[in-house]
Chain A
Amino acid sequence: MIDRETVLHIAQLARLGLSDEEVELFRQQLSSILEHMAILREADVSGVSPLAHASRLTNVMREDEPGPSYPPEVLLANAPDQEEQCLKVNAVLEES
């Protein structure tokens, strides 16, 4: 069972703002979904290594060859805000 505090904690980890209604909805829905996930405990996984992907490839290497990149204005074309060819963001450090 997931409680309200857990929902708020997870939302904070994910940096996801939630309305009060969403907090309650996800509390119920995540609890219900995780109940279904309990079935995994029945699987006998003794001696089984976790499988992270099924690509059948390991350590794909290539030459590190320099090539043309994008002009800054192309990469900044989708930016919500910019200044002097930089992404403009809110202050991270406040003056004390």
Chain B
Amino acid sequence: MSALHELTLSDAATLLRQRQISSVELTRAFLERIEALDGRIRAFTLVTADLALQQAQEADQRLQRGEQVTPLTGIPLAIKDVICTKDIPTTCSSRMLEHFRPPFNATVMERLQAAGAVMLGKTNMDEFAMGSSTEHSAFFPTHNPWDLERTPGGSSGGSAAAVAAGMAPGALGSDTGGSIRQPAALCNVVGLKPTYGRVSRFGLVAFASSLDQIGPFARTARDAALLLQAIAGPDPRDSTCSATPVPDYTAELTGEIRGLRIGVPVEYWEAPGMDPGVARVGQEAVNRLRELGAEIREVSLPHTRYGVAAYYIIAPAEASANLARYDGVKYGYSYRDTSDMWEALDKTRQYGFGPEVKRRIMLGTYVLSAGYYDAYYKQAQKVRALIAQDFERAFEQCDVLVSPASPTVAFKLGEKLSDPYQMYLNDVFTIPANLAGICGISIPSGFSEGLPVGLQILGNAFAEATILRVADAFQRVTDYHTQRPAL
């Protein structure tokens, strides 16, 4: 048997059910791994070791009794620090929420707990999920396990790095413009952004409410399917959460993709800024899918070039409204050295928010302000409609669409910090799916210059089973996802 921290979630679940290992042993193995490595990687903002061992003991009792055992019973997981955990700090990697302890659990946490999962800790992120490198954490940057000088991507960089380094077999993140898929790509793990409305957002600290979605990280498509199964489905506390039935995702992992129509969106592959090494790896991945019997066809998403601009108007606009709640009155950081209400408000927000959050509040407030609303915000919403129509037409001709998840491999820490728009351009292939509300997954697909390249597979709304089937079929004939960084 391989070392416990090298097990996939599915294999660990099998060994737990067979009582060959205990959840306490498994949890200890990951806690030891975190202890050994996280000083260098810094994926976690908080490690909840005592709680984890307590939950592991309870899971072992469940496994022993053979009652209410699910594939996640006894499985340790890492949780992005944007997801509310009752009485446990939920900081969004912001000074504003540094000491915030939510009085409730997010719905996804309730579901994981009901399934018997174990929480290892909370993971680092770009502040309030705004960023593509995890460098905008107010606490510290996370390092990419494949090269500690480079970023893990973002904003869910902590969750991606934790799984990549074997510090957790799975994790949850959130994806507003690529914040699951891009770090998954840059860290050589699987990251799935579900359809808007597939997973409840109750208890997800809001960034851009028409775009945010919670999703899983794992090493394999099968593991991601198990995690999605546990968290998907309607929730009376989130009215945007859909009643569309949740299929049995692992039952759909047949390995069979013969005749499946796979679209290759030309605008993605020919995008300016696409690294030739990344494109080459992506092309080889497409060839593998063809060899598996899929029908590859070129397809056009003509409004792709407007995606980044539309997104960086709509997301900051929504963020500026959502973040208005941080006023230093109800919870969070509060500037106290004045008796003047307005000064307290201004300074609470001046000292509580970091630079990228302030930049987006300013940008969002500007595009919503009188005189600019029509030119920027309304125009962006119209372009959003065009981008959604592009996908509707494409999915009439194709079952899924594939491209690299990110135009480059992991970049150096500090490399893009001084030019915000260069950082934003990193999201060029992931943003359109959020604007259209469809689902997407990034899977390990090879290496360029020794660094991971992720293949993004986009599916129509509620077609998670299809993209997982393609991802699983690819992983059955490749071993990129089994390769580990030297640590």
Residue numbers of A with Cβ under 8 A of B are 2, 6-7, 10-11, 13-19, 22, 26, 29-30, 32-34, 36-37, 39-43, 45, 48-57, 60, 62, 70, 74-75, 77-81, 87, 89-92
Taken together as a complex, chains A and B put the C-alpha atoms of A56 and B437 apart, in Å, by 9
Bound: A55/B194 CA distance, A: 12
| Of B283-291, B330-338, B448-456, the one with at least 4 CB within 8 A of chain A | B330-338
- Which residues from chain A contact B437 at a C-beta distance below 8 Å? 53-56
How distant is the Cα of A56 from the Cα of B461 in the complex, in angstroms?
9
User: Interface on B for A, CB 8 Å cutoff?
Assistant: 99-101, 103-104, 196-197, 210, 236, 239-240, 242, 303, 305-306, 308-310, 312-313, 320, 324, 327-334, 336, 338-342, 344-347, 349-351, 353, 355, 358-359, 361-363, 365-366, 369, 376, 378-386, 388, 420-421, 424, 435-438, 461
Q: A26-B359, A91-B339 are in contact. List 6 more A-B contacts (CB 8 A).
A: A16-B349, A51-B382, A56-B197, A79-B331, A81-B334, A90-B339
On chain B, the residues within 8 Å of A7 by CB distance are: 362
Beta-carbon contact of A39 and B381 below 8 Å: no
| Residues in B whose Cβ lies below 8 Å from that of A15 | 324, 327, 342, 345-346, 349
Contacts of A75 in B (CB 8 A): 103
Known interface pairs A45-B379, A62-B236. Does A78 touch B384 (Cβ–Cβ under 8 Å)?
no
Residue of A nearest to B333 (CB): A80
Chain A residues whose C-beta falls within 8 Å of the C-beta of B438 in the assembled complex: 54
Q: Contacts A40-B310, A54-B196 known; A13 to B461 CB distance under 8 Å?
A: no
A22 CA to B353 CA, complexed, in Å: 13
Q: Is the CB of B350 within 8 A of A16?
A: yes
B385 touching A48, Cβ below 8 Å: yes
Identify which of B336, B421, B438 gathers the most chain A CB atoms within 10 Å of its CB. B421
Q: Which 10 A-B pairs have the closest CB atoms?
A: A54-B437, A17-B350, A50-B381, A80-B334, A78-B331, A17-B346, A51-B385, A45-B382, A53-B210, A60-B239
